Amino acid sequence: MSPFLRKTGHLVRNEALSFISLVLGCLIMALAMNLFLIPNKIVAGGLSGVGTVLYHLFGLPVGMTVLAMNVPLFLASWKTLGRSFGIKTLISTILLSFFIDGTAFLEAMTQDLLLASIIGGGMIGLGLGLIFREDASTGGTDLAAKIIHKLIPFISIGLILMIIDAIVVIMAAFSFRQYELALYAAVTIFVTARVIDAIIIGVNYTKAAYIISLKSEVISERILKELNRGVTELKGRGMFTGDDRPVLLCVLRSRDIPHLKQITSDEDPKGFMFISDVREALGEGFSYEPKR
């Protein structure tokens, strides 16, 4: 077999496996919502949470409601997503909405709120982990946070996401007049976050990536634009060649690692990158923002 055909077959296989992961991730999320979360009125933030509230108040289908809310957000942020990430996110968004409504006929597996919040959160985390691992997203509040961050850049995306999810959870508690549901939603959010971290890259949440490449300028520009993460250029010298080369340092969340790998591979397939664990990251975009 020629190198071209071998390379083409490898790419086709990788794309097929990536699509299967997206489908499986979306299906798992849809099952989690219809078997555990939606029937028990557990709203764990995001547009799916808004869809759950509207379903119980007005009978609107959750999947189509989520898709309708995602469309304007997706269009508004299309230019900043990047081609590969944007296409996969669009596919995931449509698949998730389709699977949510397609499995809506299933009956709840339990009416125990604690059990539903734990198992539902775990399944949501598993599904999202599979999707994030393929450098994709299901849209929703992720896109909304990026748009708001462009308008209010001094507030980190992580804080914006937390505020949006908190608003959705509180709105649900008041809408259903069952305030303890907010506590079960918090359990779901916690379990989801832990499972996502475990699926993507172990139990560590933050990573430091070092990239050595002759195309450091274009790589850093894409990181700044697509990942909205800061990049620091360090001075390095190869001891074997004696040549000076820039070294890019970027601290980012584990869910962004697949996107970073794709950026580096696209721009410089021969570039060298290694990733290390960060026990704790403090500052803008992470645990706290320093006082000015």
Residues 131-151 have pLDDT tens digits of 888 878 888 887 787 778 777
pLDDT at 34 over 70: yes
Q: What is the average per-residue pLDDT within 107-119? A: 95
On whether both 224 and 193 belong to a single domain, the answer is no
Domain span holding position 221? 206-278
At 52-93, the pLDDT tens digits run 999 999 999 999 999 999 988 888 877 776 777 788 888 999
Query: Does residue 264 sit within a domain?
Result: yes
Higher local confidence (pLDDT), 201 or 185: 185
On whether both 173 and 233 belong to a single domain, the answer is no
At 259-276, the pLDDT tens digits run 899 899 888 988 889 988
On whether both 35 and 144 belong to a single domain, the answer is yes
Last residue of a domain, one of 201, 225, 255: 201
The CATH number given to whatever domain includes residue 212 is: 3.30.70.120
Instruction: Give the pLDDT score at 161.
Output: 79
pLDDT at 202 over 60: no
On whether both 225 and 159 belong to a single domain, the answer is no
> For the chain, what is the mean pLDDT?
85
On whether both 170 and 152 belong to a single domain, the answer is yes
Query: Does residue 283 sit within a domain?
Result: no
Query: Does residue 291 sit within a domain?
Result: no
Say if residues 63 and 99 touch (Cβ distance below 8 Å).
Answer: yes
- Number of residues in the chain: 292
Exposure pattern of 267-278 as b/e (b: 16+ CB <10 Å)? Answer: bbeebebebeeb
pLDDT at 3 over 70: no
Instruction: Give the pLDDT score at 180.
Output: 92
Share of the chain above pLDDT 70, in %: 89
DSSP states along 124-188:
HHHHHHHHHHTT----THHHHHHHHHHHSTTS-HHHHHHHHHHHHHHHHHHHHT-THHHHHHHHH
The answer to whether the Cα torsion of 279, 200, 47, 155 is positive or negative is positive
On whether both 131 and 246 belong to a single domain, the answer is no
Instruction: Give the pLDDT score at 54.
Output: 95
Tally the domains of the chain: 2
On whether both 90 and 16 belong to a single domain, the answer is yes
On whether both 193 and 234 belong to a single domain, the answer is no
Reported confidence tier of residue 21, pLDDT bands at 50, 70, 90: very high
Q: What is the average per-residue pLDDT within 183-201? A: 84
What is this structure's pTM? 0.71
Last residue of a domain, one of 201, 220, 253: 201
| Rounded Cα–Cα distance for residues 98 and 26 (Å) | 9
Last residue of a domain, one of 201, 219, 249: 201
